[in-house]
Structures are given as structure tokens and as C-alpha cells.
Amino acid sequence: MEIVAPMNSALLLLVLSLVFSQSGAQPPQPAAPSPSSDACNGVYLTYTVTSNQKIVPLLKSNPARQPYRFESMLSVMNNGLEELKSWRVFVGFQHDELLVSASNAVLADGGAFPVPVGNGTVFAGFPNSDLKTAVETAADLNQMGVQVQLIGTLFGVGPPNVPMPSNISLVNDGWVCPKPSMQGKNVMEVCCTQDPNFVANTTLDEEFLPRQNGDLTIMYDVIRTYESNYWAEVTIANHNPLGRLDNWKLSWDWMRDEFIYAMKGAYPSAVGTTDCVFGKQGQYYQALDFSNALNCERRPTIVDLPLAKTNDTSVGMIPNCCRNGTILPPSMDPSKSVSAFQINVFKMPPDLNRSQLNPPVNWQINGTLNPDYKCGPPVRVSPSEFPDPSGMLPNTTAVASWQVVCNITQPKGASPRCCVSFSAYYNESIIPCPTCACGCPSSTSRTCSANRSALLLPSQAQLIPFENRTQLATAWASLHHFPLPNPMPCPDNCGVSINWHLVSDYRGGWSARITLFNWDDFAFADWFAAVELPKAGAGFEKVYSFNGSTLGGVNNNTIIMQGLEGLNYLVGEVDGANPQKDYRVPGKQQSVISFTKKNIPVVDIPGGDGFPTKVYFNGEECALPKILPSNNSNKLGSSALISLILAFAAFMLMMQQ
């Protein structure tokens, strides 16, 4: 070690500076001082820019947007005494970098190349994610470390400047990195050490990383392995009380030329093996009948099977399979919050060894009208245990297990797919869904205004498709002397809209009515909705026509509701009885919700506490109006009048007794 490593690192640096000077983009570097790799007894990170060349288009007038092609190398070396499991390194890119390829690593957030990384990104090892120690390997640098070759495009930093990142650091739990230092102009280095104050969460199995929590977790468990192929069970489990997937679609990238031979419990969305037959798989597996294989795409998409296949002996019979792509939140039905399938994967040389197992990477899962999930890389965890279905035999254990954690994200600029309108007993107008709540076409192709706020509407307008509301809205505006903009505001363009109507507010409680409208042409089976009322939600009493409950615990201000058994379909929009004369009719479901004010600190229901601050439909957060119905038109308005009449009636009653 003492001889090998210094020579090796020195050699490395020499080679790098040679490569660098050959690229012609940079003047030769002065002889760099001996790298401090050997002075580092932790994890030694270096980032080296090896070339940076101007590429077309040549933007003489706008040098800040001039693109450059860069090549660089990230090296991670474990000089410590403990194996580093699942290394993850942050590189603080800062020049609008677009990463085009990375060898020996993937992005930890699962992004697929090319990927913009201008705000920095975290790399994770692939296919080898663990770095052994020098002691274990007699200083075999290939097992102790990894070199990630990066190629990409960046903007505005050309020779003689070197586009260095702002920071590099190891982000594994329990490690700390000081500020990195520069070696010459193109090498950044840092020595990360174990944090003495870190309290490790001891797991049963020290060999593996602990399982993580997240909104959705996916297990990739290899259950049987043969020389050229293996069977894996994929289990998707939902842990978010409001997360949900309908018609889930799962996709990933095979990194080792694998292909899917057979599946049970799910199916690839495209069946076809031409890629293999004419590719290297076909050359290698000469004797294999590819007409029986399922899918040869590098990035397959997998969909669930319909319910009817549950007991099919050839493609079904997998516990938790065949749900037609529906994964419900555990708060709704724990038995339907997991989906599973099995997959038979064929491997290619050089992986033809029973113990050579690599999971696919860049996982992504989607659904119709669902939250957006962002998945991390597969992380090797302790082998899963599967209980024996009969309960008589001991558990079976997976050969190897990987866990993918997916969290719900709200991508920047993504529009919601549902919206909310507000109304109240003290105001005749409905505050409709916000203009373009679910997106609008680009400005060239529209005749409406995307910036103006939506027109207040009479309540009967809610049942009419937006395109037929204009007449009612203009009549309402002239009746109430509301200004009429020109051009008119654009529609909300949402498939689902939800009306929240304040029905009553009295001393001991209050009530609201929720109405769900489906303007899509398909139905939502097993729908659910949730509303968050930060101040008043904990007073929840009862939902009359749906099943409803609060999420409980710290979420006791969030009420989740779903259709009653047998009535849990929110049907799609259909033609009116007479399509010539009648408007199209949205699918509709409605219920009144009652609340008590007992045990609730002072609340002002009309003042805003009676309106939800967050509304979800099938796990998707809906757009809310920016204003609330107000009671300002007339101080002696209808509600005041009603109270007066009530007081008078009470007085009369008392007089009679």
C-alpha cells in the first residue's frame, strides 16, 4: 500500500494533466504538488476537468450562452478502515451543465441522460456501489475506488477559465467533508471523514444499508437465480396517507443488456423482441425461441393486469397482483396499498453467473391523475423475507434485495389536474376555479386571457361546461355590475373540479357541502378526496353521503373521504338527454360535512377558517381560488336578516310559553 498508492495517484495525475494539455483547451498545468490522497485516511474525492472545448453554435455576441463540451472525472477512493456502502457524492455544478453521460455511476435522483444539473447533483455508484477497504483487498484500487467519467455541455466558461464545480462532498450518512481545496486550476479535492458525533441507526444486518422510508417504496427481490437468468419479485408499496396511483406505469433502464423473458402479475406495455432478435442478445442466445420472450426494450414500461387475471395460472396467482393498476393509500384500504409482480430476466455476458445480479436503474412510476413521484437509485438492503402462504413452512428469503424509494414531488411549472371553487351561504356568487388552473395553451393559439381572474358565477353555472357558460356569466356580471374583461378569462381546463360551499355557521358548529365534478370522459373508480382545514378541521363530526374520517394524529385537521361501498364511482362527462339542446353533463357526487366547535379554539368560519387550505383528489393537490366569498356588499345582508328573523321567532316562542 505504502508504495503502490502514491505511485498510482501520481501516475493518475500525470495522465490527467497529459490528457488535459492534449485537449488544447488549456495551457499545460504547472507540476501539481503530490496529491494528498495518502494523507487522507477517510474517503478521498477528486474532481478533475480534463477538457473543455467550444462547440457550435458560436455565439460571438452572447458569450454567456456560448456552449462548451466538457469532460471531467470524479474519483472516489476509500482510504479508510470500513467499507463504504452505496457511495453518494454531491458535485456542485454551477455553469448550467447538461450532463450527457457518466460511467460507473447514475444520478441518485434517478434522472436519465441528458439531464440538466446546473444546481449540482448527487451521483450514486452503478453497477458497483460499495467501495471496499485497502485492508480487505490488499490495496486493489479497482475495488477501493471508482472513477466516474463525465461528459456534458456547459455554458459561458471557456478557456483559459476552467469550469470547476462549487463543491464536492460525500453525502452518505455519518460523513463530514471540509471545504474542498484546489490542486492547480483543474483539480478539486477533499478528504471526508466519519462524523464522530453521528449516531448510527443500528440495523439487524450490518452488511446492508438500512431500509429507508418514503412515500412509495419499491422492492426488487431476486427470488430464484440461475446462470443466465433470474426471477425477481417487484413489490410496490404505498406509505403516503394521501398518495395513490391509478393505472400505474412503471419503467426503468436495463444497464447490462438484459431482457424480459416472462412475467406474472403484470405485463410490459409493448410486447416485442425484434430488438433482441437482431441484436447481440439474439446472437448470444442462438437456441432461444424469442417468440416466447416478452420484451427487449432497454427502457420497458410495465403495466398491471386486470382483476380478471388474478387467478390465471399462467400469468396471475401472485399475491397482491392484478389490481388493474390501482394502488390506494393505506389510510383507505391497507390491503390494496401494495402491488406486486414477478419477472424473469435474462442476462448477457459477462454477467452469466448465478451471483452476478444487477438491478435496473432510473426507476419511474406514473399514473393517471396522480401525484408525481421521483425515485432514487436502487439500494442494496438486507434480503426480504416472504412468509409461506400456507403459514406452515418457515419464511423464504430472497437471494438479494434492492430498495427504490420514491417521494412525491411537485415538479416546477407543472400544473395541477384538479381545481376548487368556493361559495358560501352569505354570497350569491361562486368564486370559480382559477383561470388556467390546470394549464392553458401557449399564447399564440388562444383567444382568451390567461392573466385575468375568473368571472364570478351564479351557482347554476357550475353544472354547465365552461364553453357554454359565457352567456350566464355575462348576464350575472351585468346584473351585479361586475366589470366584464375583454378578452374573457380562459377556462380552468381541469378534468376534475370540486366545489366547497359553506352551508351554515352557528354557535356550536358549522357545516359545508362538497361537490365533485368530473369533466373527463372516463370514470374514477374508488376515488377519494381530502381537505385540510388547519384551524377548524379537528372539529370534524360527520360526512353524510360519503365515508369520511380525519387522518388522525398530527393530521387530525385533514379529512379524507371516499364514496360509500357500491357508490364509489365518479362517472365521466356524458351527453345531455337531448344533445341538440342540452349541455353535456359532468359526473357528480355530493355530501354535506358537519363540524363542531367544541374543544376548538376561536374560529372565524366565514373569515376563512371554514375554507380548506389544501384539497386533494386521488392524491393530487388541487388549485385553490385566491379569494374567498365575502360578505361586504350589504351589512344588513341576507344572513343578518335571517338572524333577525330567527331572534324574532325565538322571542315569539318564549312569549307563547
The correct pick among 61, 201, 286, 656 for binding ligand NAG (CB under 6 A) is 201
The correct pick among 470, 630, 643, 645 for binding ligand NAG (CB under 6 A) is 630
The correct pick among 214, 432, 548, 610 for binding ligand NAG (CB under 6 A) is 214
Under the criterion CB under 6 A, does residue 572 sit at the interface with ligand NAG?
no
Under the criterion CB under 6 A, does residue 71 sit at the interface with ligand NAG?
no
Q: Closest approach of Cβ 192 to ligand NAG, in Å?
A: 10
* 318 class by beta-carbon count within 10 Å (0-12 exposed, 13-18 middle, 19+ buried): buried
* Nearer Cβ to ligand NAG (395/444): 395
The correct pick among 17, 75, 86, 364 for binding ligand NAG (CB under 6 A) is 364
Under the criterion CB under 6 A, does residue 439 sit at the interface with ligand NAG?
no
The correct pick among 353, 459, 478, 643 for binding ligand NAG (CB under 6 A) is 353
Read off the amino acid at residue 570.
L
Q: Closest approach of Cβ 424 to ligand NAG, in Å?
A: 8
Region of 324 on the Ramachandran plot (φ > 0 left; ψ -120 to 50 alpha; else beta):
left
The correct pick among 324, 504, 549, 639 for binding ligand NAG (CB under 6 A) is 324
Quote the strand ranges of 28-136, DSSP E: 43-54, 67-78, 88-91, 98-102, 105-107, 115-116, 121-125
- Of 181-189, 245-253, 338-346, 489-497, the segment contacting ligand NAG by CB under 6 A is 245-253
546 neighbors 561 (Cβ within 8 angstroms): yes
HEC letters along 304-340: ECCHHHCCCCCCCCCCCCCCCCCECCCCCCHHHCEEE
Q: Closest approach of Cβ 24 to ligand NAG, in Å?
A: 29
Count Cβ atoms below 10 Å from residue 187 Cβ, excluding itself: 25
Of residues 24 through 53, those in contact with ligand NAG by CB under 6 A are none
412 neighbors 616 (Cβ within 8 angstroms): no
* Nearer Cβ to ligand NAG (486/599): 599
128 neighbors 85 (Cβ within 8 angstroms): no
Q: How many residues at the interface with ligand NAG, by CB under 6 A? A: 53
Under the criterion CB under 6 A, does residue 118 sit at the interface with ligand NAG?
yes
Distance, CA of 351 to CA of 419 (rounded, Å): 50
The correct pick among 153, 449, 556, 590 for binding ligand NAG (CB under 6 A) is 556
Under the criterion CB under 6 A, does residue 179 sit at the interface with ligand NAG?
yes
372's CB contacts (< 8 A; 6+ apart) are: 366, 408, 409, 410, 411, 414
Phi, psi of 444 (to 5 degrees): -65, -30
Distance, CA of 414 to CA of 425 (rounded, Å): 34
Of residues 81 through 100, those in contact with ligand NAG by CB under 6 A are 90
Q: Closest approach of Cβ 52 to ligand NAG, in Å?
A: 19
Distance, CA of 338 to CA of 561 (rounded, Å): 20
Reference 194, options 380, 41, 36; nearest CA is: 41
Under the criterion CB under 6 A, does residue 158 sit at the interface with ligand NAG?
no
Locate 515 and state its grid cell. 361537490
Under the criterion CB under 6 A, does residue 583 sit at the interface with ligand NAG?
yes
Reference 500, options 625, 634, 402; nearest CA is: 625
Under the criterion CB under 6 A, does residue 116 sit at the interface with ligand NAG?
yes
* Nearer Cβ to ligand NAG (17/251): 251
Under the criterion CB under 6 A, does residue 2 sit at the interface with ligand NAG?
no
The correct pick among 133, 153, 167, 193 for binding ligand NAG (CB under 6 A) is 167
- Of 18-26, 234-242, 353-361, 432-440, the segment contacting ligand NAG by CB under 6 A is 353-361
Q: x/- binding map, residues 511-550, to ligand NAG, per CB under 6 A?
A: --------------x------------x------------
The correct pick among 61, 291, 355, 447 for binding ligand NAG (CB under 6 A) is 355
Reference 610, options 456, 506, 469, 465; nearest CA is: 506
- The string of DSSP codes covering 264-309 is ESEEESS-B-HHHHTSHHHHH-TTS-GGG--B--SS-EEEEPPGGG
* Nearer Cβ to ligand NAG (28/607): 607
| DSSP summary character for residue 203 | -
Q: Closest approach of Cβ 160 to ligand NAG, in Å?
A: 24
Q: x/- binding map, residues 278-317, to ligand NAG, per CB under 6 A?
A: -----------------------x----xxx-xx------
Locate 249 and state its grid cell. 406505469
Distance, CA of 248 to CA of 382 (rounded, Å): 27
Max Cα distance, the chain (Å): 108
Reference 281, options 270, 299, 293, 269; nearest CA is: 293
Query: Which residues contact ligand NAG by CB under 6 A?
Result: 90, 116, 118-119, 167, 169, 171, 179, 201, 212-214, 247, 249, 251, 301, 306-308, 310-311, 324, 353, 355-356, 364, 366, 376, 385, 387, 395, 405, 407, 427-429, 431, 467-468, 525, 538, 554, 556, 581-583, 599, 627, 629-633
